[in-house]
Structure 1
């Protein structure tokens, strides 16, 4: 075989090996969501790629047959292409005992470099950059090779399945998309600029609804504005003026005996019609939704949907009212300042290493701001105040401090056993 013929054969082997590498990496890197969108647009090649991803054994068997066979043939042909000519060139300066092995080494280096660059690095990079486009172009030729090499494919596939069974490995990969997968995609989208940081945070907050307990979003018991059923007209008007809300619980005797709630719109309508405000009027009083304090925010949303309400009172295991929650409270947890930008901030950054935080701030928000992954006994509390109580094993007092995760938490203000303000300082090593 002449030099030109050998060189053409070598280039043909390199091209074939590059094609196999492209086929391998593009199939592995192709994203199912993009392929499904192409299928919806009518591209049958995308459907074939999706089907191959679901059953990839025969496809990758052909890839491995091609990769190994072409690499071996390339080494044999390449050595015969370059080695004699390099040896003849070296013979002008070296003895045959030195020129022949050196020519072999130089030829081996050239062939290896060509295969690394042209059949591995370049095709794999191209396949990673444009996986779906490449996969659509190679899928039909690869299925043709699967048909032509079917006996070998079936034999090696059978051997592979038996080997996997011996190793206890699964026969198919799991395609279930988890919340962690989606959050990882949103983080990558934020880094690439496809998503704004605020949009990523909203998506993360949506998934937190299934883990956040309702006390993390509720209005605390001591902050609830409510009426007693026998409150006179002037007391009701004064309460509405001092604490304007959309809904008010109505209680008999004290807050732990809720009998219903009134909507501020109904009260305003009576005021405009010059009618007296009487809370024992059955046409004015609405049935209140009671939910236990161990529900997640997602479960509260489901209860709102089922009963058609957007307001609920929260009770503990002793049937005592611990707070109230509205649909707006839940949405504020998801959307943050986009829903209620006028709300008082619970976390105020003072400088690069310190924050002033309200004691009732949900502990998940504290973890996010401080970038703390794990807290001790996290199931025992919902707020920063609860964290301090668990860590101190008593009711915190002013100037009490707790150190955790590279931060010092110092109680700055306590009002009737309620922790108002906590100073958090990053500890520098």
Structure 2
């Protein structure tokens, strides 16, 4: 009976090492750090082991290997011989009883080692990785210190082999945007977050990868005041404008001098006066069109007027960026004009999509599951089509890109207004 108890103990000990290995490797370091900050016992030890996986894995491997050797030797020498004697007692010939006895013992030990020593502990570890990691980490830390010389030798040997192979033993722990999007999709499916929340989080991730020219209001859609115009014309523009702020130039749009807050002139306009507009012009930051959108947001937060004047490398005025443009990039566009009430993308019954030419190309790529190059010279669907065609298109022209056919179905002058995206059929 003692022999059986020893065998079960060794299998259970193997299970403890397997449980510890998968729990600490699977535990998220961010959650372990949060648990440690909250004073959870064992969390700091678990975080220390997770931060040095080479040393920890060497400790686990030593334990599992020694247990395997002991279990094999014990089962063969003790239990195998005992079962052989039992089989002989039942009248089986000795030359047949020995293989039967040892075979049954080895089979049973192997089965129990796989189920109790591996599968059950690992499945248990996956269900609550951080909690179990906190429980087992103090014990694993003690084992690691007890076997420090052997652990160091194994860890150093592993690192040496990696160096000889021209690689590094350090794990690639960086989390990519794609992994975050997949996690959000799983959270939405599980009901943890709502669809609109996922879309806004995706918008924030996209914003971090965009230059300001991808979110600005382009020059063709910007209304501005020219101080060289006569007073009557300026007054008419101010009364007719729907904007609360307007950029102000002096003779040429490439000579922007600042921004005007229309509400500051409202009292004088209501009284029929024509105020001196130059006196109300405030300084507005000038930013390059390649500036990161997040950097532009910080510039807007510190600006006298929340409007940035975007210029290209040659000093030409390209457009304006406002907090509303940043919000549009995160939460989606707010369009009040009937002429602009068109959606960015419309799914059709045949699997194709009708796209607005001004739709941000990264949003389109996410919808159509297209991989775009990280460095590109275009920021909209229209830019993608022109980049593929290499010329300004005519209505009806098509280009095949990333497994999709993009057809120009409507032009507004020279601007691409509507594009039809159709998946290309893979020949069978």
Contact 1:233 1:276 in 2 (8 A): no
Is 1:62 the equivalent of 2:62? no
Query: d(CA) in 2 for partners of 1:424 and 1:162?
Result: 52
Query: d(CA) in 2 for partners of 1:335 and 1:156?
Result: 52
Query: d(CA) in 1 for partners of 2:118 and 2:347?
Result: 50
The answer for the alignment partner of 1:19 in structure 2 is 16
The answer for the alignment partner of 1:404 in structure 2 is 401
Mapping 1:66-215, distance limit 5 Å: 66-79=63-76, 80-81=78-79, 84-85=82-83, 88-89=86-87, 95-157=93-155, 159-170=157-168, 172-173=170-171, 182-183=180-181, 185-215=183-213
Of 36-45 and 119-128, more deviation after overlay is shown by 36-45
The answer for the alignment partner of 2:303 in structure 1 is 307
The answer for the alignment partner of 1:265 in structure 2 is 263
The structure 2 residue matched to 1:229, chosen from 227, 230, 237, is: 227
Q: CA deviation at 1:42?
A: 1.8
Query: d(CA) in 1 for partners of 2:236 and 2:31?
Result: 60
Of 296-305 and 165-174, more deviation after overlay is shown by 165-174
The structure 1 residue matched to 2:319, chosen from 320, 323, 339, is: 323
C-alpha RMSD over aligned residues: 3.0
The answer for the alignment partner of 2:248 in structure 1 is 250
TM value normalised by structure 2: 0.86
Contact 2:284 2:303 in 1 (8 A): no
SS of 2:209's partner is coil
Of 166-175 and 364-373, more deviation after overlay is shown by 166-175
Change (3 A) 1:269 1:233: same
Q: CA deviation at 1:70?
A: 1.0
Is 1:5 the equivalent of 2:2? yes
Contact 2:80 2:105 in 1 (8 A): yes
Query: d(CA) in 1 for partners of 2:377 and 2:193?
Result: 35
SS of 1:403's partner is strand
Contact 1:32 1:50 in 2 (8 A): yes
The answer for the alignment partner of 2:284 in structure 1 is 288
Change (3 A) 1:281 1:264: closer
Q: CA deviation at 1:234?
A: 5.4
Deviation track 1:359-379 (CA, whole Å, cap 9, x = no partner) reads 22221122122211136x961
Query: d(CA) in 2 for partners of 1:408 and 1:156?
Result: 55
Contact 1:26 1:131 in 2 (8 A): yes
Of 412-421 and 172-181, more deviation after overlay is shown by 172-181
The answer for the alignment partner of 1:373 in structure 2 is 371
SS of 1:357's partner is strand
Query: d(CA) in 2 for partners of 1:197 and 1:87?
Result: 68
Q: CA deviation at 1:180?
A: 5.6
Q: CA deviation at 1:62?
A: 2.9
Change (3 A) 1:73 1:302: same
The answer for the alignment partner of 1:50 in structure 2 is 47
SS of 1:52's partner is helix
Query: d(CA) in 2 for partners of 1:305 and 1:223?
Result: 23
The answer for the alignment partner of 1:216 in structure 2 is 214
Query: d(CA) in 2 for partners of 1:149 and 1:292?
Result: 59
Deviation track 1:369-405 (CA, whole Å, cap 9, x = no partner) reads 2211136x96122222222222222211111111222
Contact 1:407 1:426 in 2 (8 A): yes
Is 1:37 the equivalent of 2:34? yes
Query: d(CA) in 2 for partners of 1:401 and 1:164?
Result: 50
Q: CA deviation at 1:168?
A: 4.7
TM value normalised by structure 1: 0.86
Q: CA deviation at 1:242?
A: 4.5
Contact 1:270 1:276 in 2 (8 A): yes
Q: CA deviation at 1:333?
A: 0.3
Contact 2:33 2:43 in 1 (8 A): yes
The answer for the alignment partner of 1:394 in structure 2 is 391
Query: d(CA) in 1 for partners of 2:175 and 2:351?
Result: 38
Q: CA deviation at 1:214?
A: 2.3
Is 1:276 the equivalent of 2:281? no
User: Unaligned stretches of 5+ in structure 1?
Assistant: none
SS of 2:325's partner is helix
Query: d(CA) in 2 for partners of 1:427 and 1:177?
Result: 32
Query: d(CA) in 1 for partners of 2:83 and 2:133?
Result: 40
Query: d(CA) in 1 for partners of 2:163 and 2:226?
Result: 71
SS of 1:225's partner is coil
